[in-house]
């Protein structure tokens, strides 16, 4: 049943330097909250260049900040503007700060990056904390291998920001999968701010106006590379399996993602033309509908795709990425232990026969629900309760001040 939080406002920040994951997670949370609270408005700050390609519910809107992209050497550069990075970051920080000052959110929810890209949200966190806003950091279930994350956060001076500027830290996962800040040596005061929400079940969009990009009458395995920027090896491995074993029983529908390099996309399209049981798409904003129709899913181990697999209860084969972060490797290994998915590690020679064998077995694999993990998909419900609690506590502080 819907409840009222009249005139309440939530501002969500997503740095979105690369890929679709951050944006899709923030959008999912925003939509879930406005569905539960009819007096609530949510504004998303995002650097995603394709945020306008997505639909947004009433009372959810976005502000597009100038985009940046992370290069292979770890450096950043401006995405669409022919100006230097320093100017782009100054513009981003200014837009974030002044949007927050004008919007006056009751809750400021920061996705994944405690200080924002290159520290761009620290000034906003300080200003909002003084205004009485509840600052919350949202973390996915797995961040990275502890020593690597510890070095990164020490370099960015994250600990004092977590201790002094944030009220709460919400982990979008289960304690059964471990804590994303375990082994970082953070003060106990920070650890006490941590709450596990459970995974974020995904809302499946209506198919009323959806034009299916493929023939849905015949069963298929969906292969999704997410945003696609780091999915080239996975797609190549699947294609080589079909090239080596053309009699595989299920056709493959491969979604490369909009950020896969055009040259690689072109090569994959050309190779698929010689295969009668492989189709290649670039992007579908309603990919959940394709996932829903698939007999099994082959995907990288990113957080959002993992949530979709759990929501749709699909047999899944995770082809993890272990660089530049160990996040997907850790998530896949722990998911296998809990009986939620199977995995293949592409670190070896990527044998096409090994992939073909895994693809043939995929539709017969146990579904995630067979693992019977308690509270697995309670994320949105728990976040709604946390929002209600945070706003109630904030109101009480205002009354007693």
For 179-197, write each residue's pLDDT tens digit: 999 999 999 999 999 999 9
Structural domain containing residue 166? 8-201+377-400
Query: Are 234 and 286 contained in the same domain?
Result: yes
For position 150, what pLDDT does the model report? 96
Per-residue pLDDT, averaged over 75-85, amounts to 76
For position 285, what pLDDT does the model report? 81
Bigger pLDDT: 63 vs 3: 63
Banded pLDDT at 1 (limits 50, 70, 90): very low
Per-residue pLDDT, averaged over 224-233, amounts to 90
For position 23, what pLDDT does the model report? 87
For position 367, what pLDDT does the model report? 96
Please indicate, yes or no, if residue 261 is contained in any of the structural domains. Answer: yes
Per-residue pLDDT, averaged over 351-377, amounts to 95
Please indicate, yes or no, if residue 386 is contained in any of the structural domains. Answer: yes
129 contacts 135 by C-beta, under 8 angstroms:
yes
Per-residue pLDDT, averaged over 35-42, amounts to 95
Query: Are 128 and 149 contained in the same domain?
Result: yes
The values of phi and psi at residue 380, to 5°, are -65, -40
For position 21, what pLDDT does the model report? 77
Q: How many domains does the chain have?
A: 2
Please indicate, yes or no, if residue 194 is contained in any of the structural domains. Answer: yes
Q: What is the mean pLDDT of the chain?
A: 91
CATH classification of the domain holding 229 = 3.40.50.2000
Kindly provide the b/e burial profile for residues 171-210, where b requires at least 16 CB atoms within 10 angstroms of the residue's own CB: bbbbeebbbbbeebebeeebeebbebbbbbbbeeeeeeee
Q: Is the pLDDT of residue 396 over 70?
A: no
Q: Is the pLDDT of residue 71 over 70?
A: no
284-326 pLDDT, tens digit each: 888 999 999 999 999 998 898 999 999 999 999 999 876 667 8
For 140-152, the DSSP string reads ES--S-HHHHHHH
Looking at mean pLDDT, say which of 317-326, 331-340, 391-400 comes out highest: 331-340
Q: What is d(CA 116, CA 139) in angstroms, rounded to the nearest whole number?
A: 13
The share of the chain scoring above pLDDT 90, in percent, equals: 74
Per-residue pLDDT, averaged over 85-104, amounts to 95
The values of phi and psi at residue 220, to 5°, are -150, 155
Query: Are 45 and 178 contained in the same domain?
Result: yes
């Amino acid at each position: 049943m819907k409840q009222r939080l009249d005139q309440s406002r939530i501002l969500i920040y997503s740095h979105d330097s690369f890929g679709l994951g951050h944006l899709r997670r923030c959008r999912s949370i925003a939509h879930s909250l406005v569905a539960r609270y009819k007096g609530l408005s949510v504004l998303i700050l995002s650097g995603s260049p394709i945020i306008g390609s997505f639909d947004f519910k009433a009372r959810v809107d976005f502000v597009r900040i100038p985009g940046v992209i992370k290069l292979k050497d770890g450096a950043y550069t401006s995405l669409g503007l022919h100006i230097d990075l320093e100017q782009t970051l100054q513009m981003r920080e200014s837009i974030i700060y002044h949007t927050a000052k004008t919007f006056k959110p009751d809750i400021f929810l920061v996705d994944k990056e405690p200080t924002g890209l290159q520290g761009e949200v620290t000034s906003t966190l300080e200003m909002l904390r003084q205004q009485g806003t509840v600052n919350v950091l949202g973390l996915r279930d797995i961040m990275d291998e502890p020593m690597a994350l510890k070095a990164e956060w020490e370099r960015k001076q994250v600990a004092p920001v977590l201790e002094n500027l944030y009220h709460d830290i919400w982990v979008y996962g289960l304690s059964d999968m471990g804590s994303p800040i375990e082994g970082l040596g953070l003060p106990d005061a920070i650890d006490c701010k941590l709450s596990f929400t459970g995974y974020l079940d995904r809302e499946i969009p209506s198919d009323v106006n959806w034009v299916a990009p493929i023939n849905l009458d015949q069963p298929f395995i969906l292969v999704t590379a997410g945003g696609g920027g780091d999915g080239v090896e996975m797609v190549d491995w699947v294609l080589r399996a079909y090239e080596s074993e053309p009699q595989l029983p299920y056709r493959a529908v491969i979604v490369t993602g909009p950020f896969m390099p055009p040259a690689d996309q072109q090569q994959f399209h050309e190779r698929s033309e010689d295969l009668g049981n492989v189709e290649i798409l670039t992007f579908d904003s309603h990919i959940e509908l394709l996932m829903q129709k698939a007999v099994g899913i082959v995907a990288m181990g990113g957080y959002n795709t993992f949530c979709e697999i759990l929501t749709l209860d699909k047999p899944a084969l995770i082809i993890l990425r272990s660089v530049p972060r160990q996040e997907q490797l850790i998530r896949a290994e722990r998911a296998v232990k809990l009986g939620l998915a199977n995995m293949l590690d592409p670190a070896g020679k990527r044998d096409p026969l090994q992939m073909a064998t895994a693809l043939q077995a995929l539709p017969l694999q146990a579904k995630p629900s067979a693992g019977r993990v308690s509270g697995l998909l309670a994320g949105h419900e728990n976040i709604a309760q946390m929002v209600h609690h945070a706003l109630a506590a904030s109101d009480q502080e205002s009354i007693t001040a």
